[in-house]
Structure 1
């Protein structure tokens, strides 16, 4: 056992001489025994405003009270601050920093973009329906495509496929007992419907409800009709260019804010 361990063990035993008592005895007399042991130990304590209560003759060395690795922690913090500052500077120097994305004319949705949120929400009223679209950038899809195309020599042919896709959750609400929800993937070529479910308004997360067959297993004519149903409400592939640019801009804004928040935390 090291000298440091012996010192700490000796200190604990002198401060609390009854800690070796059996659990049953401690439960029976715990409060009074523990209080009396502390009172007994306190008579042998040398109080110091700088070091606290330490028994006479058992003063710990200064190097043990203040470990040397504290200085390495400080240097690590400073290094992190420098890296964060560098990232913030790069974000500010980006070609797209501060650029505003123009909303297309006749864009049918109201855009709800709250700082700090990962998603953007689109809302509109259509023929008595309340339509809400949750928009998320799917960067995982981009990474998967980059890995699959890593060994491909034709970079130009894969350039568009490496763009991140967009995930949409479309909720159509008629103010009745049920909601219609579509989960879609949007890319430069098409709007792909992954699933379509009818949910209860008062229990939208009901896992026991029948969800219907897989969308890809539906009759082809039914699939086409559902695509046209969404298109009539403004959910179509032509949204991709604007939403793609908008979500990339949002990601840059959120990343910069995230860096600044981290810098503020580390600096405290």
Structure 2
């Protein structure tokens, strides 16, 4: 009996002692922890994310892109421009133009040869001195307006014969003229057009030939006539800048459409 009374007394004494010691510690700890890692910083961080994800500029940008898109579409020709149809019908070339791609190719056959003319719309951005596009006033004479020169378009002409390899002639088309820059021969026709890293590595080790301007003048003239017979002539030189402008406009419209669709979502 005495031992039971003693244990009960000890339990009674221990309970207040436990509360008086532990409760203040927990309370103090709670007050210290809440400001440091409690809800207030989390709410502030969440509010910041909400503001960032709301995209306040998105609607303005999408609207402006749509305005530009509608303007460009209003000036877009409904069908293929006549100059393209006329050239393809007259000069026996077929055109390969993939939407979204920078390069365009023209192909045709000539006897036992396969001819490919490869060019890029990036040439429309070639830098030129603005003064080159302004007619100069001649001293002591009236100012004469002259047509502005077209931008140069680089075109790589590859001529392939089955089992005989290929040659690649790098040219520049401008103001209705084709200028030859270099002539290269490939015993393996694959090297003339294949864009793999292996073919590119093999081309780097080949002799590319002399500078075209350093060739005998008679030889230069014959190479020029050689291209003319194959349709790489003044008509092509006039066609390329016009087509590059047309293609660049089409790609710009696709770019506007894609950007607007992305931003608006």
* TM-score computed with the length of structure 2 as normaliser: 0.70
Higher Rg: 2
Shift in Å, 1:55: 11
- 1:244 positional shift: 3.0
Matched, 1:80 2:48: no
Q: Does 1:140 align with 2:125?
A: yes
Task: Please tell me whether the aligned partners of residues 121 and 135 of structure 1 are also in contact (alpha carbons under 8 angstroms).
Answer: yes
Q: Distance in 2 between matches of 1:150 and 1:246?
A: 23
Task: Say if 2:42 is the partner of 1:58.
Answer: no
CA distance 1:202–1:190, change in 2 (3 Å): closer
Shift of 1:119: 2.0
Q: Does 1:167 align with 2:154?
A: yes
* Per-residue deviation, 1:65: 2.3
Is residue 224 of structure 1 aligned with residue 221 of structure 2? yes
Q: Is the 1:195–1:214 Cα contact (8 Å) retained in structure 2?
A: yes
Question: Aligned partners of 2:105, 2:112: CA distance in 1, in Å?
Answer: 19
CA gap 1:113/1:149 in 2 versus in 1, 3 angstroms: closer
| Local SS of the residue matching 1:230 | helix
Q: TM-score, normalised by structure 1?
A: 0.69
Instruction: After superposition, give the CA deviation of every residue in 1:31-78 in whole Å (9 maximum; x if it has no partner).
Output: xxxxxxxxxxxxxxxxxxxxxxx9995222422222178359612212
Shift of 1:215: 0.9
Aligned partners of 2:133 and 2:148 also within 8 Å: no
Residues 182 and 209, structure 2, Cα contact 8 Å, conserved in 1: no
Task: Quote the residue 1:196 is aligned against.
Answer: 183
Q: Secondary structure at the match of 1:168?
A: strand
Contact 1:114 1:120 in 2 (8 A): yes
Q: State how many pairs are aligned.
A: 211
Please give the root-mean-square deviation of Cα atoms over the aligned residues, in Å.
2.8
Corresponding residue for residue 113 of structure 2: 129
Aligned to 2:246: 249
- 2-structure distance, mates of 1:152, 1:86: 38
How far residue 235 of structure 1 moved from its aligned partner, in angstroms, is 0.5
Unaligned runs of 5+ in 1: 1-53
Report the Cα distance in structure 2 between the residues aligned to 1:172 and 1:240, rounded to whole angstroms. Answer: 18
Q: Which runs of 5+ in 2 are unaligned?
A: 1-33, 138-142, 193-199
Tell me by how many angstroms 1:224 deviates. 0.5
